[in-house]
Amino acid sequence: MKAGLVGYAQSGKTTLFNALTGLRKGGPVARGQVNLGAIKVPDKRVEALAAIFKPKKTTLAEMRFVDVPGPAGKGSGLDAEALRALAEVDAFCLVVRGFAAADGTPAEPARELYDFDAELVLHDLAIVEKRLDRLRKEQHKGTGEYHELERVHAQIDQGRPLRAMSWSEAEGKELAHFGFLSRQPLLVVVNVPEEAAAAPPPPEVEVAARDRGAEVLSLCAAVEADIAELNPAEQPEFLQSLGLSEPARARFLRAAYRLLDLISFFTVGEDEVRAWPTRRGDRAPRAAGRIHSDLERGFIRAEVVHYDDFIALGSESKARHEGKLRLEGKEYVVKDGDILNIRFAV
């Protein structure tokens, strides 16, 4: 899974990127350019499985990030390089400035959210109008695509983002290749001053986020960058002095999982114990495809045992004996905590 950090210039994206990925403040990651990085998703279940299988390698699920430089201000839009970098993300994380800028400009996080979302909507409006024009010229006004795009147009012509609209699965698939930006799930991060690091997000941003179909979270990126530089033994005292119970990285990951409706499944063995993220509701072949496209293409069956049953019974043979380890087919919907062994042939 990959998230794109977006927002206006100087809102704190790169500072947050460095804090989340554990890269040094002022270190190798430059400001004002596209940066790529990843964070591991902590999961105690992976540790427990590794203690049983003693694999050569243990791998946690990863959330990947791309940090793109923001436009200077309202109406200036994302540049071509930023748009290319954002074309393949699964969600946007919009960083809005909640602290007074160095030149004294006050924070207006809710307005930044409305303005930035308006840029996304305008981008999509241009795509839809161009396509509708084309379909009209080619006399394709009666087609399903035309009607669907008219519905899309009605929404964004009123300045409403596409994420606030509901789609059938078939419609969603058909719209996927247009590259609409306002359709991406959105997590708003209010980058607040240090004194507000432990406070809930400002109410006006909560209201704005709800109106735009987005989730919201507040944190102080500068403080998080400091926390990331401490060794683990020093962290609890520092967190406590700020009134925090955990680094924002943990809250951020939970919010991102909720936003993307992600669950984790596991693969186990002597070589590797590994956690994989997949969407809630994914059927077994789709989940297998997260591992490798061959596993989706050549999917036959999955051997499934739930983590809780496996831990309670202590071994695969016991789980099989108790009927907890079973064979599932293509229609099986994968659950959070399932241990999967995919059988496939290509």
Residues that bind ligand GTP (CB under 6 A): 7, 9-15, 31-32, 69-70, 99, 191, 193, 220-222
Nearer to ligand GTP, 201 or 213 (CB): 201
Q: Which stretch binds Mg ion (CB under 5 A): 8-16, 38-46, 202-210, 278-286?
A: 8-16
Contacted by 276, from ligand GTP, Mg ion, none: CB < 5 to 8 Å by type: none
Give the integer Cα–Cα distance in Å for 222 and 191.
9
What's the longest Cα–Cα distance across the chain? 69
Query: Of 14, 18, 267, 278, which lies in the binding site for Mg ion, with binding defined by CB under 5 A?
Result: 14
Nearer to ligand GTP, 99 or 180 (CB): 99
Min separation Cβ 273 and ligand GTP, Å: 36
Q: Does 251 bind Mg ion (CB under 5 A)?
A: no
Give the integer Cα–Cα distance in Å for 309 and 326.
12
Q: Are strands 62-67 and 35-40 parallel, antiparallel or unpaired?
A: antiparallel
Contacted by 298, from ligand GTP, Mg ion, none: CB < 5 to 8 Å by type: none
How many other CB atoms sit within 10 Å of the CB of residue 131?
16
Min separation Cβ 191 and Mg ion, Å: 12
C-alpha closest to that of 340 among 196, 292, 312: 292
Strand partners for 265: 276
325: its two tokens: 């380890």
Q: Number of residues in contact with Mg ion, rule: CB under 5 A? A: 3
Give the integer Cα–Cα distance in Å for 145 and 212.
25
- C-alpha neighbours within 13 Å on the C-beta side of residue 202: 20
Contacted by 285, from ligand GTP, Mg ion, none: CB < 5 to 8 Å by type: none
Min separation Cβ 110 and ligand GTP, Å: 17
Task: Spell out, one character per residue from 25 to 64, where the chain touches Mg ion: x when CB under 5 A holds, - when not.
Answer: ------x---------------------------------
* Residue 223 contacts residue 242 (beta carbons within 8 Å): yes
Contacted by 221, from ligand GTP, Mg ion, none: CB < 5 to 8 Å by type: ligand GTP
Phi, psi of 257 (to 5 degrees): -65, -40
Binding residues (CB under 5 A) for Mg ion: these are: 13-14, 31
